[in-house]
Amino acid sequence: MREPVTTESEHVRALRGERLPELLLTASDGTRRDPVADRTPFTVLYFFPGAYADAAAYPPGWAGLPGAKGCTRQSCSYRDQLALFTAAGATVHGISTQLPHEQRAFSAKEQLRFPLLSDADLALAGALGLPLFEAGGITRLRRTTLVVARDRTILETIPATTDVEEGVRSALTAVQARSGRPASC
């Protein structure tokens, strides 16, 4: 039996070695996708509260919520480092509780080259017990990153951080260390 965890960060760390459930999430292009890629050895799943194409779409008080600010910067950091993740054998997927059309508009505006997946019904977040919060009347995911093997085993966990670029670098370092193929540009 597992020891109980006392903080959100400890819970996220305790997911290491667990397996992701088999389920499909709706991608920003409307297709249903497994969050775990079957064509690469690793998948980086970064969970984020929400990001919008139009600043007016953010819920009232969004900028003042701990952990909410930085989603655009995080997604763009993954976009800008995507070649390094790919070279190290990883697929990147962003996941939020936003609806696919909201994700699609954001993805197009920021020219993301990887899918955003909607966990609006909290199927994946609930199965893993990921940390959540409420904003604008919607349940949101706290920033968390998982590095997952093709067999669905969670290899690395990166709890929320206020430095989103550091979180992206940590995910890249974890993938490179696991792959044995440090990437360079």
**The predicted structure's pLDDT at residue 164:** 83
**Residue whose entry in the numeric block shows the structure tokens 């088999």:** 22
pLDDT at 184 over 60: no
Strands (E), 42-158: 42-47, 90-96, 116-118, 132-135, 138-141, 144-149, 154-158
Map residue 91 onto helix, strand or coil: strand
Residue 66 pLDDT grade (very low, low, confident, very high; cuts 50, 70, 90): low
- Please tell me the distance from the alpha carbon of residue 114 to that of residue 40, in angstroms, as a whole number: 14
Residue 64 has pLDDT above 80, yes or no: no
Nearest of 164, 184, 143 to residue 45 by alpha carbon: 143
Rounded to an integer, the average pLDDT of 63-86 is 82
pLDDT tens-digit readout, 6-61 = 577 787 888 999 999 999 999 999 999 999 999 999 999 999 888 866 777 767 77
DSSP 12-42: HHHTTT-B-----EEETTS-EE-SS-SSSSE
- Ordered domains of the chain (ranges, CATH): 8-179 (3.40.30.10)
Give the pTM.
0.88
Residue 14 φ then ψ, to 5°: -70, -15
Contact 142, 131 (CB under 8 A): yes
3-state secondary structure of 116: strand
Are the beta carbons of 7 and 67 closer than 8 angstroms? no
Q: Tens digit of pLDDT for each residue in 124-146?
A: 999 999 988 887 788 888 889 99
- Examine the pLDDT at 4 and tell me if it is beyond 60: no
Q: Which residues lie closer than 8 Å to 131 by C-beta, 6 or more apart? A: 8, 11, 12, 141, 142, 144, 160
Instruction: Single out the residue of 182, 155, 122, 125 nearest to residue 44, CA to CA.
Output: 155
Assign 74 a pLDDT band (cuts: 50, 70, 90). Answer: confident
- DSSP, collapsed to helix, strand or coil, labels residue 178 as helix
pLDDT band at 171 (very low <50, low <70, confident <90, very high): very high
